[in-house]
Chains A and B, each alone.
Chain A
Amino acid sequence: MSLDEYRKREFKQVGQRVRRPDGVDKVTGRAMYGADATAPGMLVGRILRSPHAHARIRGIDTSAAEALKGVKAVLTGADLPAQEDDFIRDVQDNCMARDKALYDGHAVAAVAAVDAATARAALKLIKVDYEVLPHVTDVDVAIKPGAPVVQKGRSLENVPAGMSENVTSHCEFGHGDPAAGFARADHVVERHFRTAATHQGYIEPHAALASVTSDGKAELWCCTQGQFFVRTLCAAIMGMEASQLRVTASEIGGGFGGKTTVFIEPVALALSRKAGRPVKIVMTRDEVFRATGPTVHTSTDVKIGMTKDGRITAAEAHLRYSGGAFPCGTVDMGAQAAFAAYDLEHVRTYGWNVLTNRPKEAAYRAPGAPQSIYAVESVVDELCQHFGLDPIDVRLKNAARKGTKSSYGPTFPDIGLIATLEAAKKHPHYSAPLQPGQGRGISCGFWFNFGGNSCVSLNINTDGTVGVTEGNPDIGGSRASISLMAAEELGIEYDRVRTIVADTSSLGYNDVTDGSRVTFAVGLATIKAAREAVRVMCGRAAKIWGIDAEAVEWKDGAAVPAGPNAGKFPPMSLAEIAAVSFETGGPIAGHHEVNVDGAGVSFGVHIVDVEVDKETGQTTVLRYTVFQDAGKAVHPSYVEGQMQGGAVQGIGWALNEEYIYGADGRLQNPGFLDYRVPVASDLPMIDTVILEIPNPGHPYGVRGVGETGIVPPLAAISNAVSRSAGIRLSELPMSPPRVLKALGG
């Protein structure tokens, strides 16, 4: 058995609801976020953005801005290098337009000045000569031949001939023969759905402080989900060697996928290089909405056939996603996730990515899955209503389980869907009586979860404490989880361990904090680093005792002789071994570097009760319960927090949040007043039930938990609305005007 694999064990530290190590800093205002840092001689950077959805840039005259007193540098796309690689070029072009502005809010120039007022004045002096071009902001319009073309020459070879040049890629997943399956169904439902683009809505706007010195070295402080990936992107854009650019991740004020790439970081670096001084750029909220990653907006057709006893005979989905003005692979994940919860003989999903004049999509919690699963779970629910079947029973009857060939290819190992559905079915919420006018909905949700590159150093200090150095920004308590796993493996108390997040010069490469990977993958690397330190400590004890290293084992935080033949020595604790380490061979550390495989998929089921006000069209969420498989909940409070936070973001998506574009192609609601995220008074408590079906690919059974929670609310609420108000909506959000319209008001 590989050491990666799960082994049943009793936990002493893991599973405890400990205090997070960054808690005091964060409740006292001491924690340093992106905008909180300063540097000597720092300049203020500001960015000029296109007011047009689509325009050729014929020229930019920066002379008046450059002449303004206090302006130290002006930057345009012409200052950045030509890039060979498509991916890097898209990232760079999104940070600073080259020859075309591709969406309202696209950066076209930047300045660095002695203060904000001067920088703002300088932006007004920059003259951009635009040739306004026809634009397209809707996926269903952009996909048609004859639509304005956002970028030419970006279609992959697998796009069928005859489609608009805006279609950049096509994907297809599935198995069996759907036509044969539909023929066996007692009823087939086919529906069309649309979902609006939403924004991650992190409360902290992007911020970066860059300092490039004349010897070619650079320091970058920024709020990011992945400082190593920021280094990769910025080094490529700046033409720098990775070793010369040190990126430090600040505390991060929310990300949800939206801080997995760069927007202002290369601009701040380029301005700093030009000005010869540190430059800080902090986005306004308006800039965050107009120029950072919203989700894809989507148009979907789903067709499902069912027998009258509730068995699905075939399923098919056609997904059209738009990730804005640049090619985007999110539709592939949507197509793979769509039917993941079902054990199907005949299933097929087809996906197309379509360019529109909107900001470049960035990942948002389970990217691509909420949209496709919303459509699928709505149709499944309609079939349940048609046959008068219980929605959980139907899902149990068709649920993916161990050995199921998934709709996207792999065969599932141990998964927790059936246990999760059964927990939902027997929960008091599911059988609680409803008042007239109230409706209850359920939906399944799914996310793959990622593993990825992870690198951990674990130092045994001479006083018996332990320092863990990892490379993933802590967004929701991961330092506590990593410390818990280190303490568990070493057999010491949690408060003896302190975990810190390293900059890019202090540790090997770590993938971005995404895909719900950190507690799983960095946790695995931490456990293995601890095992390496244990091996060294056993060797030191063996040396002291004068026996073979193989004759020593680690038990309850101490080295002990492995058996009666090894000799009779009292246990030697971690602290005792550490205290004499300088005499036994020097400092003790363990480290581990790995590209982790074996992330376990996570399923969730949500139950929601709603009431629709038929006069106003407002939907009130009355009661909400989340059931989710965590594999093993390392810190249960923060697992619950992920489940609750994901559910509430999904509630916002279902009911209110949307990017609204005018006929002029401009974003109409770039602020929290008009882009309405859920507030405290909108919501009930979000009850949670954690299931623990161990992931066979992690020593403690851990699965990622961060993303699945945003998936089910979209359909669960739509299904509840259909039972409350007798109307089935097929477009999100179900905002009051849309509900009123469906009610015939």
Chain B
Amino acid sequence: MKSIPVSTTINGDACEFLCAPDETLLDALRNRLGLTGAKEGCGTGDCGACSVTLNGRLVCSCLVLGVEAEGAEITTIEGMADGDELHPLQRHFIDHAALQCGVCTPGILVAAKALLEKNPEPSDEEVRYWLAGNLCRCTGYDKIIRAVQAAAAEMRGA
């Protein structure tokens, strides 16, 4: 299969890469661009560890083809902090011990940020349903929910 050139924007920077027609966006990010923050936990869209946003929409990058990134705006975990200033979600995840092994954390942070952009004041239940596609095997989710709510409160200025 012949590789296809793709022009896209990743975390605000223009970016070009070549990828095979059947190659996932996740593989392109990880293997061609060195953006290994998104993880492959299942490859079938069940675990959410590969979450990124594509034109503002939360997606599992293992279910998106690399060629679909043509002309799109992609954000990944690597683009969440503003330089050395952590995003409130990132800070509260550390402060609330909302990660143990940390491998699901990039996907959960990307998903939680997408939630708070749509709904700045979610109920615990709304957070739980929004994050139902992001598996965490270490924490039992308790501290994750608390960290998301603490970040949401800070972002609202509450």
Contacts and interface: CB of A to CB of B under 8 A. Distances in A.
A408 interface: no
A200 B1 CA distance: 38
Contacts of A640: 97, 143
Contact of B46 (A200, A253, A647, A673): A673
Nearest to A201: B137
A165 interface: no
B24 to A, nearest CB: 11
Nearest to B146: A685
B61 interface: no
Contacts of A35: 30, 36, 39-40
Interface in B57-73: none
A477 B105 CA distance: 14
A683 B135 contact: no
A680 to B, nearest CB: 4
Nearest to A251: B102
A682 B81 CA distance: 30
A475 B125 CA distance: 28
Nearest to A30: B37
A477 B38 contact: no
Interface residues of B, number: 57
Interface string B120-145: 00001101110111111111111111
Nearest to A688: B142
Contacts of B81: 28
Nearest to A27: B90
B139 A641 contact: yes
A28 B83 CA distance: 11
Nearest to B110: A29
A637 interface: yes
A637 B99 CA distance: 10
A683 B97 contact: no
B43 A284 contact: yes
Give the one of B49, B132, B141 with max A CB within 10 A: B141
Q: Interface centre among A17, A27, A671, by most B CB within 10 Å?
A: A27
A672 B44 contact: yes
B101 interface: yes
A644 B49 contact: no
A204 B101 contact: yes
Contacts of A477: 97, 100
B37 A17 contact: no
A2 interface: no
Interface string A618-653: 000000000000000001011011001111110000
Contact of B139 (A23, A27, A253, A645): A645
Given A28-B81, A204-B39, A672-B42, A680 B141 contact: yes
B94 A23 contact: yes
Nearest to A636: B97
Contacts of A27: 77, 80, 86, 90, 93-94, 99, 102, 105-106, 109
A645 B100 contact: yes
A31 interface: yes
B101 A637 contact: no
B78 interface: yes
Contacts of B80: 27-28
Nearest to B44: A671
A20 interface: yes
A672 B47 contact: yes
B76 interface: yes
B137 A254 contact: yes
B35 interface: yes
A24 B86 contact: yes
A686 B140 contact: yes
Interface string A111-127: 00000010000000000
A203 interface: yes
Contacts of A637: 96-97, 143
Contact of A644 (B95, B103, B105, B139): B139
A494 to B, nearest CB: 14
B17 to A, nearest CB: 15
Nearest to A253: B103
Contacts of A253: 39, 41, 101-104
B155 interface: no
B132 A679 contact: yes
- Residue among A252, A284, A645 facing the most chain B CB atoms (10 A cut-off): A645
B15 interface: no
B37 A641 contact: no
Nearest to A34: B103
B106 A285 contact: no
Contact of A648 (B38, B102, B140): B140
Interface string A664-697: 0000000111000111111101100000000000
A284 B41 CA distance: 8
B126 to A, nearest CB: 10
B20 interface: yes
A680 B41 contact: no
B70 to A, nearest CB: 21
Interface string A28-70: 1111110110000000000000000000000000000000000
A447 to B, nearest CB: 17
Ranked 7 nearest A-B pairs via Cβ: A29-B37, A253-B103, A648-B140, A26-B102, A637-B97, A644-B140, A672-B46
Interface of A: 17, 19-20, 22-24, 26-33, 35-36, 117, 200-205, 251-256, 282, 284-285, 475-477, 635, 637-638, 640-641, 644-649, 671-673, 677-683, 685-686
Given A27-B80, A641-B97, A647-B140, 17 more contacts: A17-B97, A27-B93, A28-B37, A29-B78, A32-B36, A251-B103, A252-B101, A285-B43, A638-B97, A641-B139, A645-B139, A648-B140, A671-B46, A677-B135, A680-B127, A681-B132, A683-B140
24 contacts: A28-B77, A29-B38, A29-B76, A35-B39, A203-B41, A203-B49, A205-B40, A284-B43, A635-B97, A637-B96, A641-B100, A645-B137, A645-B139, A648-B140, A648-B141, A649-B140, A671-B42, A673-B44, A679-B132, A679-B133, A680-B127, A680-B132, A681-B129, A683-B128
